[in-house]
């Protein structure tokens, strides 16, 4: 839904805000993750920064984590690299026209 960036007018769309808010929830994971985008349901896409997944894009299902800090988010590999992830994105307005 939203790719995070810097200096955006909506604070929740920035990398630094998401990293701060999500750091407590993500630190329990075995892989270091950098949140880079969100979906419409409040979960996030992350860039893996360590281990064998380094450079891969991982979907981090946060639905249960926001309700209960004890649960770990579900992690699902989406793409082997950031470039491959960007190449797989589709323009929503084009899909609506089909």
Radius of gyration of the chain (CA): 14
Q: How do 33-38 and 44-48 pair as beta strands?
A: antiparallel
Sheet holding 2-3: strands in order across?
2-3, 33-38, 44-48, 57-61, 74-79
Residue % of the chain over a pLDDT of 70: 80
Distance between CA 48 and CA 93 in Å, rounded? 29
Average pLDDT of the chain is: 82
Q: What's the pTM?
A: 0.77
Domain total of the chain: 1
How far, CA to CA in Å, does 26 sit from each of 7, 16, 17, 60?
23, 14, 14, 9
Given a contact cutoff of 8 angstroms between Cβ atoms, the answer to whether 58 and 52 are in contact is no
pLDDT tens, 5-17? 898 898 888 998 8
Range of the domain at 71: 2-97
């Amino acid at each position: 839904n939203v790719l995070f960036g810097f200096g955006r007018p909506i604070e929740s769309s920035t990398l630094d805000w998401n990293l701060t808010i999500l750091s407590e929830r993500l630190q329990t994971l075995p892989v270091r993750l950098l949140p880079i985008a969100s979906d419409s349901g409040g979960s996030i896409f992350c860039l893996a920064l360590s281990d064998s997944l380094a450079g891969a894009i991982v979907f981090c299902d946060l639905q249960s984590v926001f309700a209960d800090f004890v649960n770990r988010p579900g992690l699902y590999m989406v793409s082997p690299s950031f470039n491959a992830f960007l190449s797989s994105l589709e323009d929503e307005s084009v899909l609506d026209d089909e």
